[in-house]
Chains A and B, each alone.
Chain A
Amino acid sequence: MIGRSAVPTPATSLVARKIGEETILVNEKGDMLHTLNETGSFIWENIDGKRSIGDILALMREEFELPDEGPEVDVSRFIEELADKGIVNIGP
C-alpha cells in the first residue's frame, strides 16, 4: 500500500465535471467514464501534485470530522485504485 508521504497527481488526459456533489471523469477519447461520490470527489479535488496523501487525509478529517483510526487505509486504497485505473499518477 502506498505511504502517506506519496504525492498523487491527476492524469492530464482526463476531463472532470462536478454534478451536484459527485464528479464525472472522462478520458480524452471519451470512452472511459468514472464517477466519484461525494467523498471521492473531495479527494479528487485535493489531488494537485503537491499535497501528499497525509495532507489530503488531514483535510478530510477536518471536512468530514473523521476519527483518527481507519480512514488512512481507506484513503490510500482509494487513491491506489485511482492510480490502477490511470486516473492519477503516484509520485514518491
Chain B
Amino acid sequence: MSRNPDRETRVRVGQTLIAIEAPDARLARRLRDHFHVPPFEGSPDMVVKLSLRRSGADGIVDSLFEQKNVDGEFFQIGGGIVQGCYRREKGEADVQVDERLLSGRLIRVFEQLLYQVFFSDPRNRDGKTLLLHSSGVLHGRSGYLFTGSSGAGKSTVAALSSRDTVLNDEICLVRFQGSETILESTPFNGFFRRKSEGSAPLKCVFLLCQAKNHSVRSMGRVEAVSALLPQVVPAIGMDERITRDTLELMLDLAAELQRRVPIRRLEFAHDAGFWKKIEEMGDVQEHGGEA
C-alpha cells in the first residue's frame, strides 16, 4: 500500500521505526516539529494510522496505561480519548484520538501511546529492553541517567548539562546487551527541547533529589530497585493491559539494571556543580552495580 509522505511522520525508538500517518499534512507537520525528526528511509516496523475525534470524555487522563479496556485487537483508553484496533500480524494500527490530545502539553500524554507502539514490536519484549522516565546525558564517553518522580529535577539536570550531550529529559531507552548496558536516546519530549540522538555505555543511574548542596550517596539494593520501579514504563503493547506478568517483568528489569549498573542517590542544587561530584566518584568507573 502506498503512503503519502506529506502526511507521514516517522520516529525511531531504538530498533523500531514507527510511521504515524496523520489525517492531513498540517497535523503531520506539527508532529514532525514536535518530534524534531529527520526524514527516514526504509520500511517502518510499525504503522499507526491516526484519525481525530472529539470523544465524550469530560477530561483527559494523564496516563494511557490505566483505564484501558482490551477486547481482542480492539482497545479503548480513558473513556474513549484513545481507541483503536491493532493488527498484530501486520504491525498496523488504526487509532482514533481525541483531538485535544494532540495540542499543547497534552501531546506528551499522546506520546504514551507511542511507548505502547514500541512495545508492540516483539523485538522489544526480550526482557533486555526498558524505557525509563529519566534524563539521559552523555558525559565524556559514558552515559548517565537521572531519574525520579515528576518534579524531581530531570529537566533541570538536562538544562544544567549544556556542555554535554543531552539525549532526553523525559524517556530514555536502556538495553542489556551481553555484559554491557547501553543508554540510548528516544524522540520523546520533556521540557528540554535541545536533545540529541546518541548512545553510550551506561555508567551510573542517579535517583534525584533537590537540595541546597550537592552530594552523592550509595543505595542499598532493595532501596534502589524500589526507587527505580515506578520509573519503568510498563512493557505492554497497544492490545494489552497491565497485568501481573507486566509487573513481574518491570520488577525483573529494575532488579537487572541495579545488578548491572551503580545506582546512587544524587542530591543536587541548581547549578552544574553536581558533575564535579559525579566525576569524583572513582568507584563509578571500576565497580559494577551490586552492593
A residues with a Cβ closer than 8 A to B are 15, 17, 19-20, 22-24, 26, 28, 30-31, 33, 35
Chain B's closest residue to A37 (CB) is: B222
Q: Which of B221, B226, B243 contacts A33, CB < 8 Å?
A: B226
Determine whether the beta carbon of A19 is less than 8 Å from that of B225.
yes
Considering the chains assembled together, what is the distance between the CA atoms of A15 and B251 in angstroms? 9
Determine whether the beta carbon of A33 is less than 8 Å from that of B248.
no
What per-residue 1/0 map shows which CB atoms of B203-228 lie under 8 Å from chain A? 00000000000000000011101100
Determine whether the beta carbon of B226 is less than 8 Å from that of A35.
yes
Interface SS of chain A: helix, strand, loop or mixed? strand
Q: Which of B234, B243, B244, B251 contacts A24, CB < 8 Å?
A: B251
Chain A's closest residue to B224 (CB) is: A19
Question: Any chain A CB within 8 A of the CB of B252?
Answer: yes
Considering the chains assembled together, what is the distance between the CA atoms of A23 and B226 in angstroms? 10
Determine whether the beta carbon of A33 is less than 8 Å from that of B229.
yes
16 A-B pairs within 8 Å (CB atoms) are namely: A17-B225, A17-B255, A19-B222, A19-B225, A19-B258, A20-B222, A22-B222, A24-B225, A24-B229, A26-B247, A30-B230, A30-B234, A33-B226, A33-B229, A33-B230, A35-B222
Chain B's closest residue to A22 (CB) is: B222
Considering the chains assembled together, what is the distance between the CA atoms of A23 and B230 in angstroms? 16
Q: Which of B247, B251, B252, B258 contacts A28, CB < 8 Å?
A: B247
Question: Any chain A CB within 8 A of the CB of B242?
Answer: yes
Q: From residue A26, how far is it (CB to closest CB) to chain B in Å?
A: 6
What per-residue 1/0 map shows which CB atoms of B227-250 lie under 8 Å from chain A? 001100010000000111001101
Chain A's closest residue to B251 (CB) is: A17
Considering the chains assembled together, what is the distance between the CA atoms of A4 and B121 in angstroms? 51
6 nearest A-B residue pairs (beta carbon): A22-B222, A15-B247, A17-B251, A19-B222, A19-B221, A35-B222
